[in-house]
Amino acid sequence: MRHFLSFDDFSKSEILEIIELSKKIKAEFKQGIQIPYLEKKILGMVFEKSSTRTRVSFESGIYQLGGYGMFLSNRDIQLGRGEPIKDTAKVISSMVDMIMLRTFGHERLEELAKYSSVPVINGLTDLCHPVQVLADYLTILEEGIDNPTIAYIGDGNNMANSYILFSAKMGIELRIATPKGYEPDTTILQKGRELGGNILLTNSPEEAILGADVVVTDTWISMGMEEEKGQRIKDFQNFQIDRNLFSKSAENSIFLHCLPAYRGYEVADEVIDGERSRIYQEAENRLHVQKGLMVWLDQHRN
């Protein structure tokens, strides 16, 4: 049985299998064909951290695959508070066919997976957000960019960490630009380089974006960091992707953002609403790659 916690656990060929399956399921969906790949299967969706796109995409996805989605918020379940995660994992996994967890600490996800008898999916942790990077990659491929140079500009957060592992596994050039003190996780960066990743880490957004095929950013103030807002806005003020900075990327480059976006902070209106922005296609692709991922995990139970 396989879990989807981070790209560290997956080979390039397995990632491509998930992407190809996602393409197939998306094409069927667009043609009005809905095959019940997960007929009568139940997905337990545990949200300790709220989200619009994660809930809608997973809940719609499991229904479209013929299954059922069970939403559990932190008001419904006290994961590790009052009851050990081990006990919660064993009980919930005896009643559902798959679990998606969106939480803060990555160690909570790992412990849930350790004791779960069904596949566990990382819907987001503070350390990694791999389902979003899968959606980004599907979007990149749909744009006909087969061997991209990716520039990630902004906070070295869970998105940056997932891009490091993903790019190293896939053999993709990645350039990350962050302010000093906001670099990605050092352990993940070391792991990416040990895997042979072509990774540039810089404090210059201009250096990172020059000639890049794909430009990615994320919010400067992630959930739980609201008290740092003033300092972060000051520290990141030279990292906004505006028309001038974006113009240094490749001629046919695309802009991606996992949303929610804060216009006027990490990205200017003229870029996020511009003709090379693919944020809505990217957001929709969360639905399709998560469907592909759930079907793939179901096929690899034994």
Q: Tell me: the pLDDT tens digits for 2-36?
A: 999 999 999 999 999 999 999 999 999 999 999 99
* Listed residue (261, 251, 34, 300) closest to 145, CA to CA: 251
Catalytic residue among 3, 53, 102, 106: 102
Catalytic residue among 132, 185, 213, 232: 132
| Sheet (strand 120-124) strand order | 68-73, 42-47, 98-102, 120-124
What mean pLDDT is predicted for residues 246-251? 98
* Listed residue (67, 130, 90) closest to 293, CA to CA: 130
Residues 6 or more apart in contact with residue 52 via CB below 8 angstroms = 260
Instruction: Give catalytic status of residue 132 as yes or no.
Output: yes
Which DSSP string corresponds to 178-216? --TT-PPPHHHHHHHHHTT--EEEES-HHHHHTT-SEEE
Q: What is the pLDDT of residues 192-215, one digit of tens each?
A: 999 999 999 999 999 999 999 999
| CA 248 from centroid of its chain's CA atoms | 26
Q: What average pLDDT does the structure give for the chain?
A: 96
How many angstroms separate the first and last alpha carbons of the chain? Answer: 5
CA–CA distance, 78 with 80 (Å, rounded to integer):
6
What 3 state SS string does 104-170 have? Answer: CCHHHHHHHHHHCCCCEEEEECCCCCHHHHHHHHHHHHHCCCCCCEEEEECCCCHHHHHHHHHHHHH
- On whether the CB atoms of residues 132 and 158 are closer than 8 A, the answer is no
Give the class (CATH, top level) of 144-277: alpha beta
Count CB-CB contacts under 10 A for residue 228: 13
Catalytic residue among 126, 218, 232, 288: 218
pLDDT at residue 80, rounded to an integer: 60
Q: Where does residue 275 rank: exposed (0-12), middle (13-18), buried (19+ CB within 10 A)?
A: exposed
What mean pLDDT is predicted for residues 227-245? 94
Cα-Cα-Cα-Cα torsion 133, 139, 144, 150, nearest 10 degrees, comes to -40
Catalytic residue among 55, 258, 288, 290: 258
Catalytic residue among 129, 175, 278, 288: 129
Instruction: Give catalytic status of residue 129 as yes or no.
Output: yes
Q: Is the pLDDT of residue 266 over 90?
A: yes
Amino acid at 104: F
Q: Domain ranges in the chain?
A: 7-129+286-294, 144-277
Q: Where does the pLDDT of residue 228 fall: very low under 50, low under 70, confident under 90, or very high at 90 and above?
A: confident
- Residue 261 token pair: 């976006």
At the fourth CATH level, the homologous superfamily of domain 7-129+286-294 is Aspartate/ornithine carbamoyltransferase (3.40.50.1370)
Instruction: Give catalytic status of residue 258 as yes or no.
Output: yes
Catalytic residue among 53, 108, 286, 288: 286
- Among 92-106, 122-136, 225-239, the least confident range: 225-239
Q: Do domains 7-129+286-294 and 144-277 have the same CATH topology?
A: yes
